[in-house]
Structure 1
């Protein structure tokens, strides 16, 4: 099975500009491809997983990945799928986020011996001369065609700033620059980037001729990755300081039955034949086994085998014994002076442990039987919890948290 065939069997490809050319480049290890990452935070999150796993798969087949960090475009803001303008970041913040990204990407991608690159488009976008851009690049774009793109149509009703209108030109220029400087002949991205990606392909063709266009391939990743990584507590981060390995494991352990096979195919390196066999007989308790496999494989990929083993053991202690008492469970330690006779109000406890974002949400959880303390339902929103001994708080059926005095 070729790498291209595997990508298709795993459901990763949605649209392609030239399937035969793409097959040839990918299968022979001749693709130098890039995927863009916005440096809007100091950590990647699980919504980036699909791109990272794809980069790893293609690199394993001999292709060269370029991780393009949008330090320049991040100062403009992408209108795709957005309802408001993006907050502009300082140069210092972007540089810090770029360094964090590269460290996390190194878990997936081998950057040694020029096998892969991290490039920041601020290196060329911030030095561009405005008049030169208008003459050399702007002349290649039709305003009518740009306004017909879905990414702009979504914003037209609420207002599209000229700043955001330039995003397609800047992203297209990225491809043009990477093609010239690094021989980048392929771009990957999500479905909301399709118009921008085609703009880059078109710019290369117009500036460098049809021969260059023949080697400029644009692929489109399946949009499922855009739906991943959001919970009621916010994003699920790859940084263990933001999302603990245990919480990371639990996120994947709790995916819906309808999504587990899809996630195994798209995000793990479990052989596709094995996953397809599982899919044929998937029912009942087999869903839980598949979710455990998914959670373990992804936790190992991001946090290493030791942390994956610890998270797996903690989860099995929780769901097996029912007590949830595990050293690896997320916990919050309170100082004695924060408590009254070693007691704390249930609402304050829920907020300080992160199990509820506010007192009102905590009250809703308690009154709707969504909270248990040491396996006993807690139904009084004015009640106090005694922390003289460590307690296990359970939210719903699958979220556990330990609270203790330290």
Structure 2
């Protein structure tokens, strides 16, 4: 039987496809329908920017606030020092405190685009778990918190089990991670009456740990809710491209490249992505997703514009669309294309086309670049070129040269 929630938040996220699992949907619904609830999602500070893989849960927090509730973005200043082992084949490189703080600053720029922060009412809060983890007394923590954890049960979690089954080393440091994350939920419940932890479905085991610990220590009733781990319709992990991660900070990935990522969405994913990553009415998302043939491109452009507007603003979305139209429809260069500016030293007496293709990010290796060129997949200033050894001097690059790999990936190369 399909559950029909009373609360606006659950109605919205179920209809739009955000819900994978919940520890007690009906009880959570009761709490949500009776007044403001506080919920959190945790983010470890492993990079200077969030990426598209985080965007689903950022939108979840945005809907949570828009429907009257209070979101907490919990920054893992403490847990990043340990590293989440979930579904990883190796240990994360450990970062120092200065790098972690710098990463948190970079990530905060993105959250500010989606959430309204403030202590009063349902203003979002940003907290750092280093606040309570850094000062823990190890022996007291083992005695008061460690006693509630069964090693047998911890070993049964899929995230740990898969690592051990492959006979890959799991350090004691990493093994502690799930205890620390559970402790986060306990602290947030104690300090802010936080009743709900949300996250991707790979975090289910960690979320359950936090619920069990809080029940044992504080005798409180709290809940967990997860979103699906998204893959594209052709089986790729959401947010990965040939050039690497799709970063959300504009200084790590230009608004044009971000726009282009969404414009290149596979036909079958358009309707689903509109519901998850935009605030358009569900009926309109379904209508656009059902378009066929060349008409589906209308849905892709709307998707790219809506998602880019939320992150970078309406002006950036309009500029990206205008650049795309100039590049694709008129054969122009476009001001917003990714730009590779080489120094005189980089170029020397000359630089080959194959090297330019790699340096501009259109190919990962020289071998890939040469194959792309030899197979006729590359254009130089909109003209096909099959000579991987073609040389460019600094004089040749004084006027930017446009490189195009297929119809959708472009870059400009120039000399500084």
Q: Is residue 128 of structure 2 the alignment partner of residue 125 of structure 1?
A: no
Listed as ranges, the matches of 1:96-115 within 5 Å are 96-114=102-120, 115=123
Residue 389 of structure 1: how far off its partner (Å): 4.0
Q: Which moved more, 1:18-27 or 1:120-129?
A: 18-27
| Residue matched to 1:233 | 243
Asked whether the equivalents of residues 28 and 62 of structure 1 are also in contact (C-alpha less than 8 Å), the reply is no
Q: Residue 288 of structure 1 aligns with which residue?
A: 297
Per-residue CA deviation, residues 284-333 of structure 1 (Å, 9 max, x unaligned), is 12321111111111111111111111001111122222x14212222233
The count of aligned residue pairs is 399
- For 2:398 and 2:324, the matched residues in 1 are separated by 25
Name 2:267's counterpart in structure 1. 257
Kept in 2: contact 1:245–1:311 (CA 8 A): yes
1:166 equivalent in alignment to 2:176 = yes
Which of 359, 364, 389 does residue 366 from structure 2 map onto?
Answer: 359
Q: Where in structure 2 are there 5+ consecutive unaligned residues?
A: 1-6
Does the 8 Å contact 2:109/2:249 carry over to 1? no
Calculate the aligned-residue CA RMSD, in Å: 1.9
Match among 279, 297, 304 for residue 313 of structure 2:
304
Residues 1:187 and 2:194 are matched in the alignment: no
Alpha-carbon distance in structure 1 between the residues aligned to 2:84 and 2:151: 17
**Distance in 1 separating the partners of 2:127 and 2:98:** 16
Segment drifting more, 282-291 vs 307-316: 282-291
Which residue does the alignment assign to 1:369?
A: 376
Q: Is the 8 A contact 1:186 1:217 kept in 2?
A: yes
Q: Are residues 1:329 and 2:333 paired?
A: no
Q: Aligned residue for 2:22?
A: 16
Mapped pair 1:315 → 2:360: no
| Partner of residue 4, structure 2 | none
Report the Cα distance in structure 2 between the residues aligned to 1:277 and 1:29, rounded to whole angstroms. 34
- Conserved? CA contact 1:392–1:403, under 8 Å: yes
| Cα distance in 2 for residues equivalent to 1:250 and 1:324 | 16
Question: Structure 2: how far apart are the matches of 1:336 and 1:83?
Answer: 42
Counterparts in 2 of 1:337 and 1:147: CA distance versus 1, 3 Å: closer
1:381 to 370, 384, 388: 388
Unaligned stretches of 5+ residues in structure 1 = none
Choose from 54, 57, 67 the match for 1:51.
57
Deviates more, 1:370-379 or 1:296-305: 370-379
Q: CA separation in 2, counterparts of 1:159 and 1:344? A: 44
How many angstroms apart in 2 are the aligned matches of 1:208 and 1:402? 59
**C-alpha contact 2:48 2:106 (8 A) present in aligned 1:** yes
Question: Deviation of residue 29 (structure 1)?
Answer: 4.6
The answer (yes or no) to whether the contact 2:90–2:169 under 8 Å persists in 1 is no
**Post-superposition offset of 1:132:** 1.2
- What TM-score results when the alignment is normalised by the length of structure 2? 0.91
Q: Deviations for 1:137-169, whole angstroms, at most 9, x for unmatched residues?
A: 111111111111101101112122211111111
* Preserved contact between residue 393 and residue 402 of structure 1 (Cα < 8 Å): yes
User: In structure 1, the residue corresponding to 2:337 is in which secondary structure?
Assistant: coil
